A and B are shown apart, each in its own frame.
Chain A
Amino acid sequence: MKMEIIHAVHVLVKSLLIVLLWSDCEGRESELDYVTCGSLVKLLNTRHNVRLHSHDVKYGSGSGQQSVTGVENADDANSYWQIRGKPNLPCQRGAAIKCGQAIRITHMKTGRNLHTHHFSSPLSNNQEVSAFGENGEGDDLDVWAVQCDGTYWERDEAVRFKHVGTDAFLSVTGEQYGHPIRGQREVHGMSSPNQHNWWRSMEGVFIQPNMEPLHHDEL
């Protein structure tokens, strides 16, 4: 009887080991849990399920700058934004973004930075959020602080973006545009944190930090 139990346990442990070893083979889990400097991301507003988006369409009112909206579809390259450091203070490529860190969010296709200022948004009369600058260079109102719990901005965590300068939170409350950008939602700044200003990273190209040093002094 004892021998049978021992044998059964032996088989169990062996099969468990095989399963573990085999599962390791399946494919590497992503080792990168954080959003890092230089990465391209799509940002999803968790309350309204739309992605932060911009395009070569200007506001018809307010500042007349390039508009920023929220879109439903997940396969548009115009929803990609690059995470970069402040002007004159570049972040190190691949370094995880810390909670509280000031960053710029640059629209990949047009090279303009996520920007807000004291203009009214067209649909809801909140603070207008636009895309401003050329080739990634705009002005001091391009800077946003990432607000999250913990040390670093985690990829599957909802965070808030608080504007450095006007203290507005990047938000969506659901108002929709008509022609020519029918169905897209208004993105604006709101003064207080609430359920409408949570965003999380979705699709993207996430740069990993450098592993080895470039020259081998220790040899």
Chain B
Amino acid sequence: MAAKGMNLCNVCCLLLYITTAVLAGRDFYKILGVSKSASIRDIKKAYRKLALQLHPDRNQDDPKAQDKFADLGAAYEVLSDEEKRKQYDAYGEDGLKEGHHGSHNDIFSSFFGDFGFMFGGNRQQQDRNIPRGNDIILDLEVTLEEVYSGNFVEVVRNKPVAKEAPGKRKCNCRQEMRTTQLGPGRFQMTQEMVCDECPNVKLVNEERTLEVEIEQGVRDEMEYPFIGEGEPHIDGEPGDLRFRIKVLKHPVFERRGDDLYTNVTISLVEALVGFEMDIAHLDGHKVHIVRDKITKPGARMWKKGEGLPNFDNINIRGSLIITFDVEFPQTQLDEQQKDGEDEGSVEGHPGTSVLTGLLLGKVTLLHDLPLGKMPTDAKEMSIYQADGCNF
């Protein structure tokens, strides 16, 4: 009797424990691995990355895979919706009013397409006997800013879907050879069209929203496939929808691999005495440049780590290479300016007159330098202009 009582007690305790655990609610931010202040874009990015990792088909040995995947879906459903996120932040999971109505499948397929990624690798092998609808390729133009910071593009896909209809239709029609006997030992072969009977289908247009991720460091011509979102085939499977990235030219920066190239024009004075400036980068942050030596036209400055993130490892970045162009005065210097007596400015450069004499002295020096001699500063490389200066 005592043992029975003990068992009952254990069961009660277990039930109590379970209910409290369940009621305590899940930490959705932790499940997605994002901070409480994460933007919607960060949340989408986190979901997409984790969905690929945690999908049960990928984790067939893990008994908890289904639950982890379901948690991920629930977390995304709440945190990606402004209203629900507010409710969750205030009251926790228990405070969510409506409960979960969207299936995780819907969320998953808006990132990867109807058939998900499972068929992605196996598609070729399974394909041979099943007819497939056409593929659709959309050239998606992206800006360099999006390549630098990443982005999500929402797209509405309206597509024809095969639905059951009343009646039958002819399908799998093919030509077959029929042999008929005309007499003893005499046969005739004819070609005949033979069809099977299949349930009737009609095409109905359906709509859904897809999320395309522009990953950081993405390169031109890379493709993002959405399996099953292409054109339908009434006797088989739908084709795929693929987004092909086309990186647009940028007015300020030029991309070469992971490196960025840009040109900056400095004044004659700055070229001689040095300068300090900020360059606005693709995401708005400022790159600070300081130079206290002479800068020749065509000189380049290398800024490590200020290029684009590498697609395969976004912790590695390319470099920003700045090429300096020197702006010469537009009008000729008058006698006074040449003598250096005029304390005014030439073309808005105060103090130029003082330097003119310096300039003449410097010119001699430059001409004296042997051609092809490069500065030994390891951080910067300059291109020596063989033309020299004409005054």
* Residues of A close to B138: CB separation below 8 A: 38, 40, 82, 108, 205
The verdict on B217 contacting chain A, using a C-beta distance below 8 Å, is no
| Bound form: Cα–Cα A38–B97 in Å | 39
Inter-chain contact B149/A32, CB cutoff 8 Å: no
* Residues of B close to A74: CB separation below 8 A: 160, 203
Inter-chain contact B149/A215, CB cutoff 8 Å: yes
The verdict on A62 contacting chain B, using a C-beta distance below 8 Å, is no
Inter-chain contact A214/B160, CB cutoff 8 Å: no
Inter-chain contact B41/A108, CB cutoff 8 Å: no
Query: B residues 143-158 with Cβ under 8 Å of A?
Result: 145-146, 149, 151, 153-158
The verdict on B36 contacting chain A, using a C-beta distance below 8 Å, is no
Query: A residues 60-95 with Cβ under 8 Å of B?
Result: 74-78, 80, 82, 90, 93-94
| Bound form: Cα–Cα A205–B155 in Å | 6
Also in contact, A38 and B101, with CB within 8 A (given A75-B233, A205-B136, A207-B153)? no
The smallest C-beta distance from A83 to any residue of chain B, in angstroms, reads 11
Chain A residue total in the interface (Cβ 8 A):
36
The smallest C-beta distance from A20 to any residue of chain B, in angstroms, reads 11
Inter-chain contact B98/A21, CB cutoff 8 Å: yes
| Bound form: Cα–Cα A38–B232 in Å | 22
Mark A195-219 against chain B: 1 for CB-CB distance below 8 A, else 0: 0000000111111101110111100
Inter-chain contact B230/A77, CB cutoff 8 Å: yes
The verdict on A179 contacting chain B, using a C-beta distance below 8 Å, is no
* Residues of B close to A38: CB separation below 8 A: 138-141
Contact of B141 (CB < 8 Å), options: A22, A90, A214: A90
Contact of B133 (CB < 8 Å), options: A40, A75, A93, A210: A75
* Residues of B close to A2: CB separation below 8 A: none
The verdict on B39 contacting chain A, using a C-beta distance below 8 Å, is yes
Also in contact, A208 and B154, with CB within 8 A (given A75-B133, A77-B231, A93-B141)? yes
* Residues of A close to B102: CB separation below 8 A: 25, 27
* Residues of B close to A212: CB separation below 8 A: 39-41
* Residues of A close to B268: CB separation below 8 A: none
User: In chain B, what residue has the closest Cβ to A203?
Assistant: B158
- 9 A-B pairs with the lowest CB-CB distances in the bound complex, closest first: A77-B134, A215-B284, A25-B101, A208-B154, A215-B283, A206-B156, A32-B156, A77-B231, A214-B145
